[in-house]
Structure 1
């Protein structure tokens, strides 16, 4: 791959003036905004929604858990999930800047176009990490911190994956969906974490990530072949829709299994069914050779997750009202 990359060297970036520790310029502030993808927050949603699923599951299973505690925890995770998403996006752009400069869709990102130097991008990432760790230590329970720690190394491993494997969505899913385990860990009243309920949902959510990320990567497949990098789109090829249909069914099946294990009611299963229909119909309509179709399916990911969350919320509220349990 090194030889192929050398054949398609990215144009040298225009380096902003100023020393390493100088105050950021307006150009660099804009570049940092883009590095965090704050102009496009789908990354936030795909991290946040699995976390809220977990909070709703814990709220359903623990009748002594006050609703205000669940809502407060959901609010706490908003800045945390924005931070996680921003960290992942920033380190991805830093470690992939040479490849990004060779791909039509990504060559306008801040580092390839020269809006910020690589050292200054690393400095920005370090500042994000310090702030993020401080917030996590302040806001998360010890249990939730311990649950999240196994995926921390993936923050750095994931951006390198396209250089050596076609399965980058696997570590991406492990990172994005760790909130499925963390939300309940934060709200457990007795310290118990029901792995038999949460792990199936976690692995199902990872299949969901594989589904939308594989289709999304078809936008870059021509450039990926030219450069010599790997992607799940190249691995699955013309079989992408059958494969991602299978992973979608696996995702939905594991959600149902976890719901049964948690004693969920019919509103939850209706929500899963509607979300599944949305996802499967969209997959069937997707032409993987049409970048607009691939991007469209990816953007619809948020709605799928929100419908599942709506089913969970309606389920627990209805159950508490019927049982006379305070919300």
Structure 2
């Protein structure tokens, strides 16, 4: 019994972490495939993307479709390991993933649609463990993730803004223009505030808030140092935003471990 009490709090999360880690890699890859299939012609006109396999002609659309089918099948294999509520919730995200590449043709907010797709795991992860979504906690967490995606993907989009104008691609980088630093700072504050609110509503402890504080400091550092007119600087800023997510993650892990320690 002592061994069971020691292992159970960590075995169950590790099982879900493995499933979601694998699922995230597979579905992120599927999203990239869909994006490249949609954008084959556009990618030829953008310096950074013209060497992609479809744009360069190394792969045909038929070959890409077969590869996509394999990715989606693998993703389905992961999804069916979850409860039915989560299976339906996860399957519903595919529509957002599919339409995202089209959005850059019709709106200056494709990054917002990307945020809706990328942060679906905030809902799916909760439902997989608890059996259903607690919307009071998950909605602010989801919204905070969407704001975070808007920050890092807008910085990413600044790399291609000159080519985007030429080929007719729209983005928040073009929409925000010279006001990017101010707007992205506001979105960063919104992201951190919403994630903090989610932690408060879920009764997280001090370790979580330390992680969120480090994430806030990292976003502030990125936005202070990024030159939105220099491609290399934007790339560093984009990568730097990922570290803010890392610190939120580490805070949540530390909080979970500290909560479980009294059970040992």
Q: Tell me the TM-score normalized by structure 2.
A: 0.93
Gaps of 5+ in 2: 1-7
1:318: Cα distance to partner?
1.6
Distance 1:192 1:80 in 2: 19
Distance 1:265 1:140 in 2: 28
Which residue in 2 is equivalent to 1:150?
92
1:290 aligns with 2:230: yes
Which residue in 2 is equivalent to 1:89?
32
Which residue in 1 is equivalent to 2:116?
174
1:66 aligns with 2:9: yes
Matched positions, count: 257
3-state SS, counterpart of residue 102 of structure 1: coil
1:179-225 deviations in whole A, cap 9, x for unaligned? 1111121111xx35321011101110000000110111011111111
Distance 1:302 1:231 in 2: 20
1:101: Cα distance to partner?
0.5
1:160-183 deviations in whole A, cap 9, x for unaligned? 111111111111111111111111
Gaps of 5+ in 1: 1-64
1:155: Cα distance to partner?
1.9
Distance 1:129 1:120 in 2: 14
Distance 1:285 1:94 in 2: 34
Pick 1 or 2: higher relative contact order, CA cutoff 8 A, min separation 6.
1
1:279 aligns with 2:219: yes
Which residue in 2 is equivalent to 1:20?
none
Residue 220 (structure 1) aligned to one of 149, 160, 165: 160
1:325 aligns with 2:263: yes
Which residue in 2 is equivalent to 1:300?
240
Computing the radius of gyration from Cα coordinates, the structure with the larger value is 1
Which residue in 2 is equivalent to 1:229?
169
Contact 2:27–2:71 at 8 Å: present in 1 too?
A: no
Distance 1:94 1:192 in 2: 34
1:303: Cα distance to partner?
1.6
* Divergent runs of 4+, >3 A: none
1:19-57 deviations in whole A, cap 9, x for unaligned? xxxxxxxxxxxxxxxxxxxxxxxxxxxxxxxxxxxxxxx
Distance 1:136 1:319 in 2: 29
Which residue in 2 is equivalent to 1:241?
181
Which residue in 1 is equivalent to 2:3?
none
Q: Tell me the TM-score normalized by structure 1.
A: 0.76
Contact 2:115–2:149 at 8 Å: present in 1 too?
A: yes
Which residue in 2 is equivalent to 1:110?
53
Distance 2:87 2:248 in 1: 25
